[in-house]
Amino acid sequence: MSNGIIAADPVRSAFREYYFKRAEMIEPPSDIEKREFGYMQFGGRGMARHLSFRTTGELIATLITQVPSDVYCSNALYRFPTLPMQEKQWLGADLIFDIDGKDLHLPCVSSHSYHCCASCGHVSAPSEDEYSVCNVCGSNKDERIVIPCGKCIEGSKREAMRLHEFLMTDLGIDKLNIHIYFSGNNGFHFHIQDDSYRPLDSQARSDLVGYLMGIGLLVESIGIRKSPGSDNSFVKFPKSGLQAGWRRRVADKLRIDTTSAMRLTNIVKEIGGYSAFKSELEKMTRELGVRIDPQVTTDIHRVFRMPGTLNSKSGLAKVKVRDIESFDGFSDACLLGDAKVKVKLKVPAKVRLRGENYNISKETAELPAYAATYFICKGLALAI
């Protein structure tokens, strides 16, 4: 399976070597003793949770000895992190945002998506046609395996830059308190290191998500008022103007300012009146907003992939991003060793790692560990 835990010795060996040689990459959270940790193991099912570490050294020792496939840490702080959830005594939670390439629904995805049959494991090459049934067993259930292309990564980066701008300009969060990480697969995680956000409950975080995603903006906030008893409207701009936040974004999109009452009136008429403009505004704000995973932000008890650890869906690391525009996850986060590993490809596949193109059309190939691990973790190859 593409997204399951891979039971392959070369992969586990590569992960062990990483945690042994790259311990400096591990970035434990602040207040480590108040966090809940969890991890998954190769070949195992379910997550070992409710774990606690007192020091970074203790955590790294566990990674080296246990060699987990994935490592997680709570965004929340607890008085008793090892106890059952209802007994932990929640003390607050860091604010976290997740941008995942799969949520962008980019048109290029079908051209580099493989289909893995959920019944027999047969993998089909990318095709523009809609998946129907497996060519081997006839099952209609499949798992999609995506190798992100350059367009996917650029799409995620654009979304990350948009979120960064929202956080600084609209929420006023200091740039130094916004920590951006590549997820290790196809997206970015934002960790907000600002104590003022820690007490927020799920509803308050949901309100933040709604604002960032452009949900629920009132037409009145940009100056459109409904005429009593009809679907007609009139313009009365807010006294505070259209210079900030969503008002500025919508005004820029419509190319209006507070001197454009007649222009805005005509725009509303052309669209079809108050109700039609309201619907159009909802579409507009969703397009201008940030596409983030709401559940990640609103869940105040979530365990989240820990910075510096490896992602079993790719073998790439979750690493800090210093500059979004120049960042290249397939190079900057590709940190496994280069010992040779022989693999059997289930289907011809290609990826670019560390500046090298790996376009494998033969059934077997000998690849550097980082490339072999990528194909194995994606479910496109087996170690032999």
Give the active site residues.
98, 100, 293
55 token code pair:
């020091």
Phi, psi of 364 (to 5 degrees): -125, 155
The C-alpha atoms of residue 120 and residue 140 are separated, in whole angstroms, by: 11
Candidates 2, 20, 24; CA nearest to 66 is 20
Query: What is the Cα–Cα distance from 333 to 309, expressed in whole angstroms?
Result: 10
For the stretch 141-172, what's the b/e string if a residue is b when 16 or more beta carbons lie within 10 angstroms of its beta carbon? ebbebbbbbebbbebbbebbebbbebbeebbe
Phi, psi of 66 (to 5 degrees): -90, -25
What b/e sequence results for 68-77 when a residue is b if at least 16 CB atoms lie within 10 Å of its CB, and e otherwise?
bbbbbbbbbb
Amino acid of residue 380: L
> How do beta strands 113-117 and 123-124 pair?
antiparallel
What totals of helices (H) and strands (E) does the chain contain, helices first? 10, 20
DSSP symbols for 12-57: HHHHHHHHHH-GGG--PPSSGGG--EEEEETT--S-EEEE--SSHH
Q: In this structure, what token pair is assigned to residue 28?
A: 């434990």
Q: Given its phi and psi angles, is residue 91 left (phi above 0), alpha (psi -120 to 50 degrees) or beta?
A: alpha
Please count the residues of the chain: 384
Task: Report H helices in 108-242.
Answer: 150-169, 202-213
Q: Determine whether 277 is exposed, middle or buried from the number of CB atoms within 10 Å of its CB (0-12, 13-18, 19+).
A: buried
Residues 6+ apart with CB under 8 A from 220: none
CB 11 within 8 A of CB 4: no
